[in-house]
Structure 1
Amino acid sequence: MSKKILPPPAPLQRVSIVSETYAPEANGVATTLSHLVAGLRQDTTRVDLIVPHHPARPRGQETNLYPVCGVSIPGYREVRCGLVRPRLLEELWRSQRPDAVYIATEGPLGWSAQRAAARLRLPTVSGFHTRFDTYASHYGLGPLNGAVQRYLCRFHNRTDRTLVPETRLAEALTERGYRNVETLGRGVDTHRFHPDRRSATLRAGWGADDRAPVLLYVGRLAAEKNLGLAVEAFRHIQHVQPAARLVLVGDGPMRAELQRQHPDLIFAGVRRGADLARYYASADLFLFPSLSETFGNVTLEALASGVPVIAFDYAAAHRHVEDAVSGRLVARDDPGGWIEAAVGSALLAPETRQRWQKAARAGVESLSWQHVARRFGHILAEAVRGHDGLNRGGVTLCSKP
């Protein structure tokens, strides 16, 4: 992606965005939506947001916000489902009819929005942001995995288009029977996430001097993130470099157990904005062991901060990390190789580490959220022009997993 920005799309007067997650929640979906909303509004499109009520969201923080009842998922308090009857959405959209509807999540709120939009014959685009099709096995629901995959396929095939963040995933979903899959990449705020944010004071608070490698993870502390692999790699690194540190930024259902088992790790909780940027830039290596990503925005944030990334070879890492240049890429079926890559990268000679850090930053400097948001607007405008209502409610053929 270059710095060249697309021209504004054909004018869209009003767009409704429906999502079960949004700021101030800290996750890739919420971050992506915030940038897409800002981009549409910059192009003078009115954006209505239909999201669950969140107690941490200040009143008046967002304009044109329509909160619905939000219920936390048991065992995963930071994730909320939105509950609203389709009829209420129909009433809203009859009185304030949008040109298009974007449904970012496939939960109860997304289900209601899809049905309301279908009844009103509104052009609808959906986003495949989260690998719910892989989550079941991490929460003792493996037997339901096939049913979840079939539901997701039917859900997305009832919309005019389905947006995914990278080409490999688009190809995989198409093979499963998803129709009209289109790729919409991701950007990164290269002004906020920058090597200049590095903080000696922060590192001193971790007990790390310039010689001690600081390893960083940013994301949910949850089973699907494969964090045990990162901890195992850290223990190997510690054996050679006892002064090494592992910093975990984020929260989630595994935090309490991880803290109990590994009290020497640094648990920073959720960090945002400039504070988060300091954490990235003050680390030496970004460990990302997850195998359940649709993309992984944190990968771009680490690279923009000049921090090499150790990741499995898929999603954002496959596209933006150059092996042995700005980090390490490892085959998805090779956890042992991932640990070896992390250990070797943590012990690089200073001059090699500096080359990797410069390459990490250089590889993403041209990425732009403005470009992504502008392309999003073009996709919505194309969906409006091509909308004929035939995708919803028809026979859907989805392959078994």
Structure 2
Amino acid sequence: MQTSDLRIALFSGNYNYTRDGANQALNRLVEYLLRQGSAVRIYAPKVANPDFPPTGDLVGVPNVRMPVKGRGEYRLPTGLDRKVKQDLLRFEPNIVHISSPDPAGHAALRWAQDYDLPVLASVHTRFETYPRYYGLGFMEPAIEWILRRLYNRCDALVAPSQSMVDTLLEQDMHDDITIWSRGVDRTIFSPAKRDLEWRRAHGLDDDDVAVVFLGRLVMEKGLDIFADTIIELRKRQVPHKVLVIGDGPARGWFEQALPGGIFAGFKTGADLGLALASGDVFFNPSITETFGNVTLEAMASGLPVVAAGATGASSLVDPGETGQLVPPGDAAAYAEAIAPYCTDHALRRAHGEAGERKASGYSWDAINQVVADTYIRLVEQREAERAADEARIKTALESA
């Protein structure tokens, strides 16, 4: 079987209406698959003014506004209606890909099982950790149980990092898990994009050390720990400034928590590469990522990284070589790790250069072919199972 023989029905909770790391990876995957001759149809919520045009054919699924405070820009797919199911039948996929454990994802799994199709699930974030950021930590065991029930009914999983694979194995989510890593666009992310004029225009002197946050401004990205760490650095009188790249519903809270911080707003493409390379130290305290695209982008931009020693970053950052890993939630330990980069230019440069060298090994095409190969393996396995069943039935009839 070739990649061009694949017919993939991809289900996503957010394919293009709000830009995030997960849907950037999915759109890159679809672009690659289409380029290889695969047929792909995406089923996800549609809105009037999405953040960017979808890659491939997008079919809208029933959805409602996410019923969680501070997440109103997100939509919750509520299932598959008759129109969507009829579209699926016309498309005739030979594999189903679920990228979000929402009601539509569960319905897609049931539909695939009804038609004896293999199902691959991709894991993009630590959904079970989200409730703790909204005062609902008691829900984590229940959410983990729901995830386990969904994933174990799939044929296989893909996850972005070895650390996430290890976590999924420990949680008994599945025993067939392949690494679908992430790539980085070196035409956008490079130390060469550093721009002193941009820094000066944003209040950064040439010798200032900017500690960078990059990401969507929502509490589950560890905004509280980031702020506590900056307060600790200020108490220790460590010279630095704060550069925040991104936007989101928690921006007001973050601005109040970081008086004097430089908020550059949402950036994308070349503007993002310029802003990131114009920082000096990247700080990522989040524990919800399964890979950490922003961490890889910062490394490609030549920044040393201080990050939570959790899934994602722990597979990217080499402590003492490209940055430091710190126990999650420990603001004092984060400050201790960041402080040397604020005062030692040689250390900052050495670890930034090492990170850039490591980032150069992440090629999008090679990474996305891993998913295509997994699709092919699952389709061929299912076809072999059908052939074996038919042979057994034939043998039983002949001997009857």
Paired residue for 1:378, among 365, 373, 380? 373
Which residue pairs with 2:61 in the alignment?
68
- Read off the aligned partner of 1:49 and give its amino acid letter: I
What is the rounded CA distance, in whole Å, between the counterparts of 1:10 and 1:260 in structure 2?
51
Q: Residue 363 of structure 1: SS of its match in structure 2?
A: helix
Question: Aligned residue for 1:115?
Answer: 110
Report how far residue 98 of structure 1 moved. Answer: 1.0
How far the C-alpha of 1:20 sits from its partner, in A, is 0.7
1:172-194: CA deviation from partner (whole Å, max 9, x where unpaired): 32233222222222211122111
Q: Which moved more, 1:177-186 or 1:193-202?
A: 177-186
How far residue 388 of structure 1 moved from its aligned partner, in angstroms, is 7.2
- TM superposition shift of 1:167: 2.1
Change (3 A) 1:46 1:267: same
Alignment TM-score, normalising by the size of structure 1: 0.88
Identity over the aligned pairs, expressed in percent? Answer: 29
| Residue in structure 2 matched with residue 20 of structure 1 by the alignment | 13
Please point out which of 188, 196, 201 is paired with 1:192.
Answer: 188
**Counterpart selection for 1:251 from 247, 254, 273:** 247
More helix by share: 2
Give runs of aligned pairs for residues 353-364 of structure 1, distance below 5 A.
353-364=348-359
1:131 Cα deviation after fit = 0.8
- Which residue of the partner structure matches residue 231 of structure 1? 227
The answer to whether the aligner puts 1:278 opposite 2:271 as a matched pair is no
The whole-number CA distance in structure 2 between the counterparts of 1:60 and 1:27 is 14
Closer, same or farther in 2 for the Cα pair 1:13/1:251, shift >3 Å?
same
Residues 43 and 134 from structure 1, CA distance in 2 versus in 1: closer, same or farther, beyond 3 angstroms? same
State the one-letter code of the partner of 1:93: L
Verify: 1:338 aligned to 2:334, yes or no. Answer: yes
Tell me how far 1:133 sits from its aligned partner: 0.9
The answer (yes or no) to whether the contact 2:232–2:332 under 8 Å persists in 1 is no
Q: Could you tell me which residue of structure 1 aligns to residue 388 of structure 2?
A: none
Indicate the residue corresponding to 1:398 in structure 2.
none
> Which amino acid in the other structure matches residue 260 of structure 1?
Q
Q: Where in structure 2 are the equivalents of 1:215-230 lying within 5 Å?
A: 215-230=211-226
Residues 1:330 and 1:373: Cα distance change in structure 2 (over 3 Å):
same
Structure 1 residues 365, 312: closer, same or farther in 2, change over 3 A? same
Residue 239 and residue 59 in structure 1: after superposition, are their counterparts in 2 closer, same or farther (change >3 A)? closer
Looking at structure 1, the residues matched to 239 and 331 of structure 2 have their Cα atoms a distance apart, in angstroms, of 24
Shift of the 323–63 alpha-carbon distance from structure 1 to 2, 3 Å rule, reads closer
The aligned amino acid for 1:320 is: L
Deviation at 1:343, TM superposition (A): 1.8
Q: Deviations over 1:353-386 (max 9, x none)?
A: 2222211211111211111111110001111111
- Of 123, 128, 131, the residue aligned with 1:133 is 128
Task: Structure 1 unaligned segments of length 5 or more: list them.
Answer: 1-7, 391-401
Tell whether the 8 Å contact from 2:164 to 2:291 is kept in structure 1 after alignment.
no
Residue 395 (structure 1) aligns with: none
Which structure 2 residues correspond to residues 28-177 of structure 1 after superposition, within 5 A?
28-57=21-50, 62-73=55-66, 74-75=68-69, 76-177=71-172
Q: 1:325 aligns with which of 321, 325, 344?
A: 321
- The more displaced of 279-288 and 62-71 is 62-71
> How far did residue 96 of structure 1 move?
1.2
Report the CA distance shift for 1:256/1:163 in structure 2 as closer, same or farther (over 3 A): same
| RMSD, matched Cα | 2.4
Distance in 2, matches of 1:225 and 1:59, equals: 22
> Residue 391 of structure 2 aligns with which residue?
none
Could you say what secondary structure the match of 1:324 adopts? coil
Q: Which amino acid aligns with 2:282?
A: F
CA contact (8 A) 1:89 1:116 kept: no
Counterparts in 2 of 1:323 and 1:61: CA distance versus 1, 3 Å: closer
Q: State the shift of 1:293 in Å.
A: 1.9
* Cα 1:26–1:63 shift into 2, 3 Å: closer
2:13/2:100 contact within 8 Å kept = yes
Task: Tell me which residue corresponds to 1:302.
Answer: 298
Partner-residue secondary structure (3-state), 1:90: helix
Q: What is aligned with 1:399?
A: none
Contact 1:101-1:117 at 8 Å conserved across structures = yes
Q: Could you tell me how far apart the structure 2 residues matched to 1:389 and 1:339 are?
A: 56
Counterpart contact for 1:9–1:377, Cα < 8 Å: no
**Superposed CA offset, 1:6-65 (max 9, x none):** xx9543342111101123522221111111111111111121111111333389754411
Q: Give the direction of change, closer, same or farther, for the CA distance of 1:89–1:374 in structure 2 (3 Å limit).
A: same
| Greater relative CO, 1 or 2 (CA 8 Å, sep 6+) | 1
- Unaligned segments of structure 2, at least 5 residues: 386-400
**1:212: how far off?**
0.5
Separation of aligned partners in 2, 1:223 and 1:372: 30
Q: Deviation digits for residues 96-129 of structure 1, max 9, x if unmatched?
A: 1112111100112212222222222222101111
> Does structure 1 retain, via aligned residues, the 8 Å contact 2:317–2:325?
yes
**Cα distance, 1:140–1:242 mapped onto 2, change above 3 Å:** closer
Larger-gyration structure (1/2): 2
> What amino acid is aligned across from residue 291 of structure 1 in structure 2?
I
What CA distance in whole angstroms lies between the structure 1 residues aligned with 2:147 and 2:311?
A: 19
Maintained 8 Å contact 1:86/1:116: no
Higher alpha-carbon deviation: 74-83 or 34-43: 74-83
Question: Following TM superposition, by how much is the alpha carbon of 1:161 offset from its aligned partner in structure 2, in angstroms?
Answer: 0.8
* Cα distance in 2, alignment partners of residues 239 and 55 from structure 1: 47
TM, length-normalised to structure 2: 0.88
